């Protein structure tokens, strides 16, 4: 059974969890919040990541399997009143489950060993929703890792965690790496580095994507800086066949990553 329900929004435990909404406290405590059944379920699939779970009575009734899995893993489970959950949650309509998690990122060299096939690199990406969606898309496309450079949003931002829909816990994630260091490592591991840029002359239709590839994705409003474009082996754009002025970052990333994944699978002896 859970401990008695937490009802005081000013209690030390609630305050300690709530402050993780701020990046400075996340970095100090090396912890972040994962909200909702999907994120919590996936966090629990990584042993040792979840350190505490808050659950309303209604959420425990609806998601008893998740709460049971937490208890089985030795994770302290705390009952939370609706008021406490509203204080902790970063959504308008809380889903009643919220986990405190340890940081999960790994060193660049560990995420990109020789033989890596597909990597997404976010550089100067500031919108957490876009970043989380790219992370989720990279996971779906079978990417081996996602790199958040030091000029990009914090992947532990609540909106980014939610947008990743659990993918943050599925594949190696690197944070805070200078883009030049990331590109150097990618090239040394045998990947061809492509930069996605809407003003490029060449298009996705013009390049051979059958080999190991890394994709650089930039800021939605102003793209990739010139010095970053110069680091890439090739700069390409997603072709626009209709009248749309452009694609948003997450959609363009999905097209590029899936193009690479499809070409690699077609070139593989296994198909």
Looking at residue 4, its pLDDT comes to 65
Mean model confidence pLDDT for the chain: 93
The model's pLDDT over 151-182, given as tens digits with 9 standing for 90+, comes to 899 999 999 999 999 999 999 999 999 999 99
Distances in whole angstroms, Cα of residue 129 to Cα of each of 28, 165, 218, 228: 23, 11, 14, 23
pLDDT of residue 47: 93
**What is the pLDDT, as a whole number, of residue 196?**
93
Residue 243: per-residue pLDDT:
87
CA distance 214 to 121: 7
Q: What is the pLDDT of residue 2?
A: 44
pLDDT-based confidence at 1, cuts 50/70/90? very low
Q: Which residues are CB-neighbours of 162 under 8 A, at least 6 positions away? A: 35, 36, 39, 90, 91, 132
Q: Please tell me the least confidently modeled range out of 18-22, 107-111, 224-228.
A: 224-228
Last residue of a domain, one of 102, 131, 165: 102
Three-class secondary structure of residue 50 per DSSP: strand
Helix (H, G, I), strand (E, B) or coil at 195: strand
Cα separation values, 212 from 107, 112, 178, Å = 20, 11, 21
Do 131 and 259 lie in one domain? The reply is yes
**Total domains in the fold of the chain:** 2
Q: Residue 181 is part of which domain span? A: 108-267
Both 167 and 197 in one domain: the answer is yes
Looking at the predicted structure, is the pLDDT value of residue 257 above 70? yes
* Cα(227)–Cα(243) distance, integer angstroms: 30
Q: Average pLDDT of 256-260?
A: 97
User: Where residue 261 sits, what CATH number does that domain have?
Assistant: 3.40.1280.10
Same domain, 117 and 89: no
151 and 66 co-located in one domain: no
pLDDT of residue 223: 81
Same domain (yes/no): 77, 176:
no
Q: Are residues 33 and 126 in the same domain?
A: no
Please, what sign has the CA dihedral across residues 200, 203, 207, 213? positive
pLDDT in tens, 123-149: 999 999 999 999 999 999 999 999 999
Give yes or no: residues 94 and 129 share one domain: no
Same domain? For 90 and 134 the reply is no
If asked whether residues 140 and 228 sit together in one domain, one would say yes
Q: What CATH number is given to the structural domain containing 59?
A: 3.30.1330.30
Give the DSSP H or E segment for 137. helix 128-140
Same domain, 69 and 133: no
Mean pLDDT value across residues 184-192: 97
Query: Which of these three, 102, 132, 155, is where a domain ends?
Result: 102
Count the helix, strand and coil residues of the chain and give each as a percent rounded to the nearest 5: 40, 20, 40
The residue among 102, 120, 136 that closes a domain is 102
pTM for the full model?
0.92
> Is 121 found in the same domain as 246?
yes
Residue 226 and residue 201 share a domain: yes
Cβ atoms within 10 Å, residue 192: 17
In 3D, which of 45, 48, 70, 46 has the Cα closest to residue 59? 70
3-class SS string, 29-48: HCEEEEECHHHHHHHHCCCC
pLDDT at 52 over 60: yes
């Amino acid at each position: 059974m859970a401990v008695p329900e937490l009802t005081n929004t000013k209690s030390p435990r609630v305050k300690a969890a709530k402050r993780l909404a701020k990046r400075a406290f996340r970095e100090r405590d090396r912890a972040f919040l994962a909200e909702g059944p999907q994120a919590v379920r996936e966090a629990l699939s990584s042993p040792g990541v979840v350190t505490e779970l808050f659950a309303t009575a209604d959420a425990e009734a609806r998601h008893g399997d998740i709460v049971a899995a937490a208890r089985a893993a030795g994770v302290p489970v705390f009952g939370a009143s609706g008021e406490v959950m509203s204080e902790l949650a970063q959504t308008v309509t809380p889903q009643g489950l919220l986990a405190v998690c340890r940081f999960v990122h790994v060193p660049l060299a560990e995420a990109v060993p020789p033989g890596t096939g597909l990597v997404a690199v976010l550089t100067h990406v500031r919108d957490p929703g876009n970043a989380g969606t790219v992370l989720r898309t990279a996971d779906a496309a079978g990417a081996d890792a996602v790199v958040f450079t030091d000029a990009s949003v914090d992947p532990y931002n609540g909106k980014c965690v939610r947008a990743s829909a659990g993918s943050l816990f599925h594949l190696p994630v690197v944070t805070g790496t200078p883009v030049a260091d990331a590109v150097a490592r990618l090239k040394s591991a045998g990947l061809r580095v492509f930069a996605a840029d809407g003003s490029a002359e060449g298009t996705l239709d013009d390049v051979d994507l059958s080999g190991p590839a890394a994709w650089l994705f930039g800021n939605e409003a102003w793209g990739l800086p010139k010095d970053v474009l110069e680091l890439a082996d090739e700069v390409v754009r997603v072709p626009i066949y209709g009248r749309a002025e452009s694609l948003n970052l997450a959609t363009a990333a999905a097209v590029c990553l899936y193009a690479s994944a499809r070409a690699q699978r077609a070139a593989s002896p296994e198909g």
